[in-house]
Structure 1
């Protein structure tokens, strides 16, 4: 159980009592005084230097709140092309052309000069670098179990109904694994994949499952740059280049080799740090569009399952640790999804009054310029400020149970993984 404690003081701005759930730095729930404070004990380090981590947290908090204020009350699907989108697309195009230029130069050196010859000393590294920096197609998770429509017709039908209600394409592949998560992605060129973590899926109420499907299918049409092949270079190329150029520890046995390695590090280290800095800045800009896409996916979740179910699904993210503990406990006792749902519901029934401060706390602990998701509390507020939706797809408890029965074998496999 999570305790929300009063910090024993009052807000200097409005005089209200401050709170400190989970033994965090106190803040005022009324006016949010001190909510932006950097809590080094609760927020993981970004780079390991306290002064720099504090500064990065401040930047992330301001950027996140500024984007939230700009999008609140607007139709997210028609927010238009922003500066982040233009920068990400342009950078991806330039980086891709740079990789092509490396490959073309390497090939030219091979064919334009006698073989073998001194040109090989430059051609081979250029070709190797181009291969290492090339854009890569996504791959299906080898730990995921791919489902077949003839063995899971109820689940496939539900996914089709949600896709039709939202006007999104249905996934080409539906898979399950043993994670407390769910995701939608694209592998290859246009092979859409929906993967459901069974411990997470099995713990949700029926209408929350519809909300989860609505959110994940929304990623197929919400323009998230992380899931687009054309914008992949913005997220990977400079980071890979920095890793390739990072000097390795010297193991040179002789003085001459040690001097050569040292001179190499003098050149490699600053170049690697420069590329990493550019990579961090570019990813920070690109993720602004990813956060906008998450807000849009939440809106599509509300259209599919209703606003109440979509907000309830977001609240599960605030209590996923409690959910995982309950599910693992029941799994060790040999119980499946029916008992998972009951155990999670029992756990949450005693903590409903703790949700408002935890939503606010997420604004501090989840704010980061390098996060692909906005803070959960802001996503909840975004849905509260948007148009209220009735469910377009209703999943009854009976139908939800039939879906679970189709996945009996997969549930048992996930239960054994959790138990051990």
Structure 2
């Protein structure tokens, strides 16, 4: 519908309501969502298919939210999605192992021949596609290891939160430099790791810190399909195949070399396209389970820190860019955690009136078939619609200050990282 000529230029051309530019470069309408999908996530690289997949992801995301908002929310140990992902992982492992065995046989069958070269190539391919379980030795690259003996207040808080949500204690604590936090398991022994970004920790209020720990530790017990030893194979192997065969460039001095490079590049792109398509199908199947696990982790955040703190923690996600900006500004000025907290508190207060707009925007901009997390807006709304919970763990200002004192030893290093 075309807006009447009397409507100001800033009015929506579809519904004639005022448009805004909050969060996007071009105006969009919060009343009818006109022009809100200015950027569609790239999945296959063909815009018309990506737009269709975006709409599919949007329908799936909204349908799952509707199904879970008023129903039971509990961990699932075995679902159709998990069974399919496990089966795909087993097949992929078998294929990689088969490639390795074939390569080994060809390498030694007629040594120093064309078969030897082909065998070496297959062995190299199997090595590149091998499952990665992560290494403890690589963890210092992601953050500074926290000496548990020198952080008794932090360890005590983590223990209390773990008990509240029924999760095992992490065996390694990392302190990162980003406005982020995560848990993971690494190695054959599946060592549990909790990483908390110091900038994120410093910008949160005490009960939000408890909710953050509740959410992250909840990932150890929420049945997330991404966390399994086998299911990780399906999540990563196909993407490596696509990257391995996505050959670029056509070269060669002679006509034969030129034609060969064209054929090789075409075959590589076909293999890469098949791998990407299969990956999309697996993601399509598994990501609903992953997003369900995120909702459950939010429920555990509410159980640990209280529903109110879990909601404000989730709302901070839609303010991340603004909070990151003020934290880096303070870091460039040489200021530490106290200044980050004060600057973030001012930024959150200034952005509070825009939270409804930022939530609405996130329902569209955070949707993708590859998205393992539901949009922040739906996570906050899920918490609001479910029964409110009182905090099982209370963190006082004095206790929070003790923890900050324990972490202050890492402050200068994080400031240097933020200044870079």
1:294 aligns with 2:297: no
In structure 2, stretches of 5+ residues that fail to align are 1-7
Partner of 1:34: 33
CA distance in 1, matches of 2:110, 2:49: 52
CA distance in 2, matches of 1:81, 1:356: 36
Q: Scaled by the length of structure 2, what TM-score is found?
A: 0.89
The answer to whether the Cα contact below 8 Å between 2:161 and 2:304 also exists between their aligned partners in 1 is: yes
Partner of 1:153: 152
1:285 aligns with 2:282: no
- Pairwise CA distance, 1:38: 5.5
Q: 1:6 to 1:223 in 2, by over 3 A?
A: farther
CA distance in 1, matches of 2:151, 2:182: 19
The answer to whether the Cα contact below 8 Å between 1:45 and 1:53 also exists between their aligned partners in 2 is: yes
Q: 1:303 to 1:266 in 2, by over 3 A?
A: same
SS of the residue aligned with 1:192?
strand
CA distance in 2, matches of 1:210, 1:135: 34
Partner of 1:164: 163
Q: Deviations over 1:106-151 (max 9, x none)?
A: 334456x354555424432322222111111123251411011121
CA distance in 1, matches of 2:301, 2:9: 35
SS of the residue aligned with 2:89?
helix
Partner of 1:135: 131
1:74 aligns with 2:71: yes
Q: 1:123 to 1:323 in 2, by over 3 A?
A: same
Q: Which moved more, 1:347-356 or 1:93-102?
A: 347-356
Partner of 2:395: 395
- Pairwise CA distance, 1:205: 0.5
Q: Which moved more, 1:236-245 or 1:60-69?
A: 236-245
- Pairwise CA distance, 1:232: 1.6
1:85 aligns with 2:82: yes
SS of the residue aligned with 1:76?
coil
- Pairwise CA distance, 1:259: 2.4
1:252 aligns with 2:252: yes
CA distance in 2, matches of 1:328, 1:106: 50
SS of the residue aligned with 1:77?
coil
The answer to whether the Cα contact below 8 Å between 1:10 and 1:18 also exists between their aligned partners in 2 is: no
- Aligned ranges 1:264-275 → 2 under 5 Å: 264-275=264-275
- Pairwise CA distance, 1:73: 2.0
- Pairwise CA distance, 1:93: 1.4
CA distance in 2, matches of 1:313, 1:224: 21
Partner of 1:197: 197
CA distance in 1, matches of 2:371, 2:116: 42
Q: Deviations over 1:301-356 (max 9, x none)?
A: 11110111000100110111121122122223332222222221122223322212
The answer to whether the Cα contact below 8 Å between 1:7 and 1:26 also exists between their aligned partners in 2 is: no
- When the two structures are aligned, how many residues end up with a matched partner? 406
The answer to whether the Cα contact below 8 Å between 1:184 and 1:219 also exists between their aligned partners in 2 is: yes
CA distance in 1, matches of 2:365, 2:381: 16
Q: Deviations over 1:224-272 (max 9, x none)?
A: 2323221122112222122222334233122222222223233332222
- Pairwise CA distance, 1:10: 9.9
CA distance in 1, matches of 2:337, 2:43: 37
In structure 1, stretches of 5+ residues that fail to align are none
Q: 1:329 to 1:63 in 2, by over 3 A?
A: same
RMSD over aligned Cα atoms: 2.5
CA distance in 1, matches of 2:77, 2:140: 33
The answer to whether the Cα contact below 8 Å between 1:11 and 1:27 also exists between their aligned partners in 2 is: no
- Pairwise CA distance, 1:218: 0.9
Q: Scaled by the length of structure 1, what TM-score is found?
A: 0.89
- Pairwise CA distance, 1:63: 1.3
Q: 1:89 to 1:38 in 2, by over 3 A?
A: farther
The answer to whether the Cα contact below 8 Å between 2:303 and 2:389 also exists between their aligned partners in 1 is: yes
CA distance in 2, matches of 1:126, 1:46: 28
The answer to whether the Cα contact below 8 Å between 1:242 and 1:276 also exists between their aligned partners in 2 is: yes
Q: Which moved more, 1:254-263 or 1:201-210?
A: 254-263
Q: Which moved more, 1:242-251 or 1:390-399?
A: 242-251
Partner of 2:5: none
